[in-house]
Amino acid sequence: MLIPETQPVFRGLSSYYIDVTKLLEHFRLSDATGCIRFSSSDANGVVFYSKNKIINQFFSAAGKKYFGNDAISALVRIAEVRECKIDIYSIEEEQILFWANLSKAQTLYDNLTTDLTDLGKLVRKVETEKITGIIEVSIKNGTKPALMLFYQGLLVGTHRPWVDEQLTNDNSVVDYLQRETSRHGGSFCVKTIPVDEVTAESQSNTVSDRESEVTAAEILTMVGEMIYALESLVSERIKGHDPFSLILRKKFIDKVDVYPFLDPFADEFAYGERKVRFDGDASPVELSHAVGRCLLEIADDYRLKVDLEREFSRLREHYPPAMHVFFPDV
């Protein structure tokens, strides 16, 4: 996922000492506009934020891709078990929706060959028509396609995957691509981002929008059902086990350094008879994900993890989409 790196806020942070959930919550509640990139040896993702909203998010790990709220759940879960490098960049407010929706670009002109199309003239057409999108430049020399990114007809970035480690904005690259396509031949593909995607003030799948649709009581009820799912499994499958309340208490004590709001001695969280009480300051997402991960660890200890994941999936289907962000990724 290409992002502009010209305005770094922080670079080289590590998930070993950064609470990713709190980091996301901080930028969701801030007036800033930009993106957070997460990267490790086999995982990477980007979260875009703007004016008190998370507006889009992508994450991939071990060959699997996640989008929207599932991306948030996946990156938080993975950042807990392995180190992820975290880079934060500021992006101009008028361009944030362009970068956040770059992956949604739709083909406008395809397979424009150099026999009939000159790259320089194609660029001028994009500029004249004030197109927002991408020109993919394929050179007949075996290299991967280069990208030219335009915002309302203005060139905002170029990328040659065989040369550039990151996005650049250098007019000499345009000259280079024009020269190489003239010499070796090639083809072009023009893609545009739908106007409503780069001008909308908000998007329906944002974390903040979804959270606003759900009451605290609904979240606590859902968390209670998650705990009860494991309690039922342990009761049915495990003979001679400790009282479930003690099992849960031991796990919360074990995790107190990670989830202090679950500390039994702090008395901010309590569970009994399928009901949950919470008086702490953790966000709804932070609370539900923390409880969910503790439950999955307990289930794993009793070799019930697959069963619990199945129960979580069933619960998720039972609740409306606005609630899905509060489930731990399974």
**CA–CA–CA angle 77, 82, 83 (5° rounding):** 115
Classify residue 134 by burial, with Cβ atoms within 10 Å: 0-12, 13-18, 19+.
buried
H/E stretch holding 13 reads strand 8-14
Q: What is the pLDDT of residues 173-202, one digit of tens each?
A: 888 999 999 999 999 999 998 766 665 544
Q: What is the DSSP string of 44-92?
A: EEEEEEESS-EEEEEEEETTEEEEHHHHHHHHHHHHHHS--EEEEEE--
Q: Which two tokens stand for residue 145?
A: 């396609």
Residue 45 identity: G
Beta-sheet pairing, 186-192 with 43-50: unpaired
Where exactly are the structural domains of the chain?
A: 8-93, 106-192, 213-326
Q: Which two tokens stand for residue 17?
A: 């000492």
Which DSSP state fits 103? G
The helix-helix angle for 20-28 and 68-81 (nearest 10°) equals 140
Which DSSP state fits 280? S
| pLDDT score for 210 | 46
List Cα–Cα distances, 84 to 14, 201, 268, 282, in angstroms: 6, 31, 30, 23
| pLDDT score for 232 | 95
Which DSSP state fits 268? S
CA dist., res. 170 & res. 174, Å (int): 7
| pLDDT score for 100 | 87
List Cα–Cα distances, 69 to 30, 129, 304, 307, in angstroms: 19, 35, 26, 23
CA dist., res. 292 & res. 295, Å (int): 5
| pLDDT score for 204 | 39
Could you tell me which of 244, 237, 208, 258 has the C-alpha nearest to residue 52? Answer: 208
| pLDDT score for 303 | 93
Q: Which residues of the chain have pLDDT under 50?
A: 201-212
Could you tell me which of 134, 138, 90, 89 has the C-alpha nearest to residue 113? Answer: 138
**CA–CA–CA angle 250, 290, 203 (5° rounding):** 170
CA dist., res. 282 & res. 288, Å (int): 10
